[in-house]
Amino acid sequence: MITKRALLIVGILMVILSLLTAKLFIIQISKHEYYSLLAERQQNKPSVIKAERGTFIDADDNVLCLTQKAVSFSVDKRMVDQKKVDSIVAGFARICGKTKDYYQKLINEGINNVCIEKKVTIDKAIELNNKIIFDGLFHQDDFTRVYPYVNLAANVLGFVDHDMNGSEGLEKLYNNELTGKDGNYLLEQDVLGRMLSMDEDFSKAATPGHDIILTIKKTFQKILEDELTNGLNKFGGKSAVGIIMNPNSGEILALANLPNFDPANYESVAPESRKDIAVSDTYEPGSTMKSIVMSILLDLNLVNPNEIINTENGLFVYKGKKYSDAHKLPTMTLRQVIENSSDIGMIKLSDRVNDEVFYKYIRDFGFGNKTLVDLPSESDGYLKKPSDFKGSTKATMSFGYEISATPLQMINAYCALVNGGTLLQPHIVKQIKDHNGKVIEEFPIRKIRTVISSSTSELMRNFMIGVVENGTAKAAHLDNILIGGKTGTSELYQASSGTYSENKHNSSFIGFFPADKPNVVCLILVTAPEKAKFGGDVAAPIFREVARKLIQTDFNLVPNKNKIDTKNIADELISDIKSAPKINSAQFPHLPDRSLSNNTSRQILVADRNTMPNLINMTVRDAIAQLNERGVDCKVAGTGKVVWQSVEPGTSIIPGTICNLKCQRALKKVAPGIK
């Protein structure tokens, strides 16, 4: 009996030994490589070193967006002692400010490795590491995107998603350049996952992403956003856009949209608030188009700077449609057509241009095409082809209807209008640098084409000075610098009804300074203001405050603080008139020939008491005497000699004419070496 039991036990042991031998054979011989690799993976754990995302830096070396190192914590449920979970939960709740139930639920519902806190700041991570030390609690370096000025330039910069990939704005457009190359390291661990050593031979450091240097200036951006906010608070409105550009380089110095958002909390706002409507949305620009069309007429010599336009006492029927002007005058000069924003004057003048030529000029100014700015989601705008022109299309386009443009297209066209006639490609990125500061790519000035002549550009600048000094944009006036610009007001088109709203408008102003050689062009657009509607009442005062603060912030914008170059503007106008060919009276029989001969031009301007004299460089006393002799009232700003007059020399004097004079003292000459 005992022998049988012994034999049974021995048999069982032999079977077990045989199975163990077979298993060892499989592990050690037949599947040796497999289990060796499995052991190696368990002991030697490769880990990723995340690359730091590049930064956005403004033109003055201010960091607008950066990546900050953080730490993420996780719990491996297979390794952690369940008795110590309460301590982990309590510690995280105390330091990170969330409830115990929050962390308990994450751990209970998670499977195996559970992330319980992401992107913890370094100071809190250090505290957690010092106070909560348990097997099965792991941490890993992570990064978080930080926007130190919160909403500033948010619609331009865009944001990143939870995986640190750019989702909108420059973050998206330059995602490849901003994203670095991840590194890795190889750790040797024990059976509990604790680190024993690191194998440097199989480790590689991460390469940070490139830095993007912008043309934007933080101070300019802040001023623009603050004044747009003040404007919306004062006038109401659905949205507002502001753009500041350098017309001589195409650099965007500031670009703002309201409403805006916090890129770090982008999910809390509607997608509409995250759009960069300055480049993605279009509008009918209204009367700001008048300056563009007037420059075309001047460039083609189809108008004479000295001619008088019959403006029909403010009421006119054209192609079966009725048009009216706010200023109901029988006649206006070209300057007054722009100053008073006369629709009737522009309708009559635009009729002189051939359809194909008109279309070519408008397109050359950049309308109907993307500007190719380095910003995503840019719209083409809308420009009718000549074959689609109807009877009144050209006339209505001349004052900003039947054409749509983005705010960026509009300001870029004005940059060409005032910089001497050259259309430039706008850009917002200046350089791309690697993490060592080496320049990877530069973005130089890119000329697209010459649109108008420099003399036309100069004459248009002078016309637009009058808009601020004597016309619809008086609210943009500044005492310490002469401003030029043009107002715009257009009714909002309602797609649902196919009609224009009488109560909702786009109110805009595009201004520039200093007037003689502009360094800044600024567009202000407010959509659907509630307490006023005209661009001169809404957008112009916002521009004034922006310009005033810009000048106070950066004295280089207005060298010497001169109101205007003291050269004789009237002489330049005469020169333009003399050099212009006579208009073909056979082609335009309704257009009077008002060109001046070389021998008589100055005599007419000075001697004829029925025309406005040249007052430039006269003393205030002499200028007033000249005007009194002709029965002209005047308003004088400043002291010293006359540097600008609102009524052009040679203009026929109409009873009731008022001439505004800008005066300035001569700068004192200082001997060399004397301060």
- Extract the runs of DSSP E, i.e. beta strands, from 528-589: none
Peptide bond into 271 cis (omega under 30): no
Is there a domain that residue 578 lies in? no
- What is the average per-residue pLDDT within 619-632? 77
Is there a domain that residue 394 lies in? yes
pLDDT at 609: 66
Where on the phi/psi map is residue 329: left (φ > 0), alpha (ψ -120 to 50), or beta?
A: beta
Q: Which residues contact 544 (CB under 8 A, 6 or more apart)?
A: 475, 476, 477, 478, 483
Check whether residue 186 and residue 256 sit in a common domain: no
Say yes or no to pLDDT of 147 above 60: yes
Say yes or no to pLDDT of 595 above 70: no
Band of residue 598 on the pLDDT scale cut at 50, 70, 90: very low
640: domain CATH number? 3.30.10.20
- Tell how strand 520-527 and strand 447-450 pair up: unpaired
**What single DSSP character describes residue 208?**
P
Is the pLDDT higher at 106 or at 31?
Answer: 106
pLDDT at 234: 96
Is there a domain that residue 5 lies in? no
Check whether residue 179 and residue 299 sit in a common domain: no
Is the pLDDT higher at 418 or at 12?
Answer: 418
pLDDT at 624: 77
Say yes or no to pLDDT of 426 above 60: yes
Check whether residue 523 and residue 543 sit in a common domain: yes
Say yes or no to pLDDT of 671 above 90: no
Check whether residue 239 and residue 174 sit in a common domain: no
Domain that holds residue 106: 46-214
pLDDT at 187: 55
The two tokens of residue 151 are: 């909403």
Check whether residue 349 and residue 496 sit in a common domain: yes
Highest mean pLDDT among 28-42, 124-138, 149-163, 596-610: 149-163
Q: In this predicted structure, which of 330-344, 442-456, 581-595 has the lowest mean pLDDT?
A: 581-595
Say yes or no to pLDDT of 523 above 90: yes
pLDDT at 44: 55
Say yes or no to pLDDT of 306 above 70: yes
Do 605 and 599 touch, CB atoms closer than 8 A? no
Q: In this predicted structure, which of 102-116, 385-399, 529-543, 591-605 has the lowest mean pLDDT?
A: 591-605
429: β partners: 214
Is there a domain that residue 29 lies in? no
Is there a domain that residue 108 lies in? yes
Band of residue 477 on the pLDDT scale cut at 50, 70, 90: very high
Check whether residue 547 and residue 620 sit in a common domain: no
pLDDT at 298: 96
Band of residue 564 on the pLDDT scale cut at 50, 70, 90: very low
Say yes or no to pLDDT of 258 above 50: yes
Check whether residue 339 and residue 472 sit in a common domain: yes
- Write out pLDDT tens, residues 626-670: 887 777 877 777 777 888 888 888 787 877 788 888 877 654 333
472: domain CATH number? 3.40.710.10
Where on the phi/psi map is residue 212: left (φ > 0), alpha (ψ -120 to 50), or beta?
A: beta
- Write out pLDDT tens, residues 38-77: 455 555 556 677 888 999 999 999 999 998 877 777 777 6
Mean pLDDT computed over every residue of the chain: 83
Q: Which residues contact 230 (CB under 8 A, 6 or more apart)?
A: 542, 545
pLDDT at 134: 65
- What is the average per-residue pLDDT within 448-476? 96
Check whether residue 161 and residue 222 sit in a common domain: no
Q: In this predicted structure, which of 116-120, 129-133, 343-347, 614-618 has the lowest mean pLDDT?
A: 129-133
pLDDT at 336: 95
Residue located via tokens 């043009």: 486
Percent of the chain beyond pLDDT 90?
53
199: domain CATH number? 3.90.1310.10
- What is the average per-residue pLDDT within 223-244? 97
Count of domains forming the chain: 3
Is there a domain that residue 3 lies in? no
Say yes or no to pLDDT of 390 above 80: yes
Residue 167 parent element (H or E): strand 166-168
Is the pLDDT higher at 403 or at 89?
Answer: 403
Is there a domain that residue 32 lies in? no
Check whether residue 601 and residue 473 sit in a common domain: no
Is there a domain that residue 674 lies in? no
Angle formed by the axes of helices 454-470 and 569-579, nearest 10°: 130
pLDDT at 118: 75
Check whether residue 416 and residue 510 sit in a common domain: yes
Residue type, 96: C
Say yes or no to pLDDT of 606 above 50: no
Is the pLDDT higher at 138 or at 354?
Answer: 354
Q: What is the DSSP string of 508-525?
A: EEEEEESSSS-SEEEEEE
Highest mean pLDDT among 213-217, 564-568, 587-591: 213-217
- What is the average per-residue pLDDT within 112-117? 75
Say yes or no to pLDDT of 319 above 70: yes
pLDDT at 467: 96
Check whether residue 614 and residue 533 sit in a common domain: no
pLDDT at 602: 30
Is the pLDDT higher at 667 or at 616?
Answer: 616
Residue 506 parent element (H or E): strand 499-513
Is the pLDDT higher at 253 or at 273?
Answer: 253
| Half-sphere exposure in the Cβ direction for 190 (13 Å, CA) | 7
The two tokens of residue 517 are: 């050689």
Say yes or no to pLDDT of 11 above 90: no
Buried b (16+ CB within 10 A) or exposed e, 170-180: bbbbbbebbbb
pLDDT at 188: 59
> Which residue from 215, 209, 229 is spatially nearest to 156, judged by alpha carbons?
215
pLDDT at 133: 64
pLDDT at 599: 33
Check whether residue 525 and residue 473 sit in a common domain: yes
